[in-house]
Structure 1
Amino acid sequence: MNHAAGQRAYHHGNLRAKLLEQAIEQLRHTPAEQLSLRAVARALGVSQTAPYRHFSGKEALLAAIATRGYRELLEL
């Protein structure tokens, strides 16, 4: 296994939070219909299957983003 593949297979920190942050960033430039868990994973440098350890699919990721947004609104 080369060094780059080894880096992609492991992520330091709270991956779930990083996935949410990256997905929100991508939604600033891409419609929700075009959001891809693979693209989110690629942007973070993790394996394409890594998001599925935290979200069952794109709908679950979008639901988590919505939940986060509602919680932030309640804190205002």
Structure 2
Amino acid sequence: MARKKKVTIVQIQHYQKDDAECEGDYYEIELQTPEGKTIATFGSYYDDKGMEKAEGFIKGVEYALGVTVEIIVRNIADR
């Protein structure tokens, strides 16, 4: 069986500005290429079920392209 190509996606979790420790439940999820190009945004983790939507999107990419996705998570307090 051939090895699947690996694709890297950066998952940015945008927290509120006053949450410098990035520990709250309210953050927006954005997926980017390693070069910083936005692929998709999924709304907030808490209100919009953003994490579930992002996970579904990533599974769809893996299935449709026949690749393995490596996820790099970055937490930023900027909202």
TM over 0.5: no
More strand by share: 2
Q: Which has the higher contact order (CA 8 A, sep 6+)?
A: 2
- What's the TM-score once normalised by structure 2's chain length? 0.32
More helix by share: 1
